[in-house]
């Protein structure tokens, strides 16, 4: 799943192509990609036509990101409009192409834009979703967006914040870092990498971590996400994440433990191990992490 660095890279690279363009319509190949928040008003069957009606004529005023969500702020004239919220889930990809481009493989929805351009949502697994919501009135279906914690790149994300969230919990620290209500935007890749940088094993119980270690962990989370953004995200062998111009990210070249089980640690040479925490695989160095 694209994490904070990947979605931030997508936002930065899409913004010059999308900001200021008017939405002229939409072509929806899979209506179930529309996560309609007001099912009582139109029902699932009519969500497709309702979405088209409401977005046509809206202008993309700004691209924002919150955690792993991409948010297109829309407006009509001088009046504030709605928010188009896109959640890429496991394998979603966004491309800007000439409107004349034929239908792409795994294309689920195409937003027709002014200037003969189109924003295309590619989603092989059909798990991603597009929501159109009123600004300041997020529906229950977007509870995950409503309840996000601080992002580790936020100025107020520090050791005290992290301790207040997790230090009395008996859960393993890796599982807690994946909780979007604690560390918004962090997923499997960057939690493994941050724990390596902090010297903490993913199996450690949160209440057993010291104040000093929480300080290292908060700094490691911030630095690894900043590095992920700087290197335009992580593209693994499955190529689930691609940038809007279809190029890969570069951070995979700098991974220390993620997807490196049974390989030697780049610091000490010890074989990287893996373990299961919940339904996620975690990787760590048994010597560098305690």
What is the tens place of the pLDDT at every residue in 180-198? 999 999 999 999 999 999 9
pLDDT digits (tens, 9 = 90+) for 213-235: 999 999 999 999 999 999 999 99
Task: Give the number of other Cβ atoms within 10 Å of residue 87's Cβ.
Answer: 21
Active site residue 143: no
The span from the CA of 108 to the CA of 126, in Å, is 8
Q: Residue ranges per domain, the chain?
A: 4-146, 159-284
Active-site residue (options: 169, 254, 280, 281)? 280
Short-list 4, 9, 5, 10, CA closest to 95: 10
Assess whether 2 carries a catalytic annotation. yes
Confidence (pLDDT) at 35: 83
44: three-class secondary structure by DSSP: coil
Look at domain 159-284 and name its CATH class.
mainly alpha
Written as six digits, the tokens of 266 are: 């780049």
Nearest CA to 270 among 282, 258, 284, 259?
284
The radius of gyration of the chain from alpha carbons, rounded to an integer in Å, stands at 20
280 is catalytic: yes
CATH architecture of 4-146: Alpha-Beta Barrel (3.20)
pLDDT band at 251 (very low <50, low <70, confident <90, very high): very high
Catalytic residue among 65, 68, 172, 222: 68
């Amino acid at each position: 799943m694209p994490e904070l660095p990947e979605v931030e890279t997508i936002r930065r690279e899409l913004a010059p192509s999308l900001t200021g363009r008017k939405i002229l319509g939409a072509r929806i190949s899979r209506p179930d990609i529309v996560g309609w928040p007001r099912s009582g008003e139109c029902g699932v069957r009519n969500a497709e036509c309702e979405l088209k009606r409401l977005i046509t004529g809206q202008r993309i005023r700004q691209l924002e990101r919150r955690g792993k969500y991409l948010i297109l702020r829309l407006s009509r004239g001088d009046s504030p409009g709605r928010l188009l919220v896109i959640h890429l889930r496991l394998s979603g990809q966004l491309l800007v192409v000439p409107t004349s481009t034929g239908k792409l493989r795994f294309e689920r929805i195409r937003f027709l834009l002014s200037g003969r351009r189109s924003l295309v949502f590619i989603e092989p697994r059909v798990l991603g979703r597009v929501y159109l919501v009123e600004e300041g009135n997020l529906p229950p279906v977007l509870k995950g967006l409503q309840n996000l914690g601080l992002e580790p790149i936020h100025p107020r994300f520090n050791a005290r914040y992290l301790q207040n969230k997790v230090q009395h919990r008996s859960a393993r620290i890796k599982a807690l870092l994946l909780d979007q209500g604690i560390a918004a935007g962090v997923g499997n890749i960057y939690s493994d990498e941050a724990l390596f940088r902090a010297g903490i094993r993913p199996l450690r119980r949160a209440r057993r971590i010291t104040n000093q270690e929480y300080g290292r962990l908060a700094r490691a989370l911030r630095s690894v996400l900043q590095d992920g953004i700087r290197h335009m995200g992580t593209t693994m062998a499955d190529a689930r994440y691609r940038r809007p111009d279809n190029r890969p990210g570069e951070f995979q070249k700098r991974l220390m433990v993620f997807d490196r089980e049974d390989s030697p640690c780049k610091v000490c040479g010890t074989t990287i191990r893996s373990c299961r925490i919940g339904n996620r695989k975690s990787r760590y160095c048994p010597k560098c992490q305690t």
